[in-house]
Amino acid sequence: MTSGALVPSTYWRAREVINAIEARRVPEAAELREAYRGLARPS
């Protein structure tokens, strides 16, 4: 997510992936969620 390849039109897909990872209780889910929040925040 921090590569710069994620564009606003694909944020919905990133949310889906994060939700699925969180549902599986993967330890890195919180780190992914935080990275997503940093990207999806309006400037």
Residue 8: per-residue pLDDT: 78
pLDDT in tens, 1-43: 667 777 778 888 889 999 999 999 999 999 989 988 887 665 4
| C-alpha distances in Å from residue 1, one per residue of 19, 41 | 15, 13
> Whole-model pTM?
0.70
Residue 22: per-residue pLDDT: 95
CA atoms within 13 A on the CB side of 43: 2
Residue 41: per-residue pLDDT: 64
Tell me, rounded to whole angstroms, the distance of Cα 35 from its chain centroid: 6
* Domain residue ranges in the chain: 8-40
Residue 20: per-residue pLDDT: 96
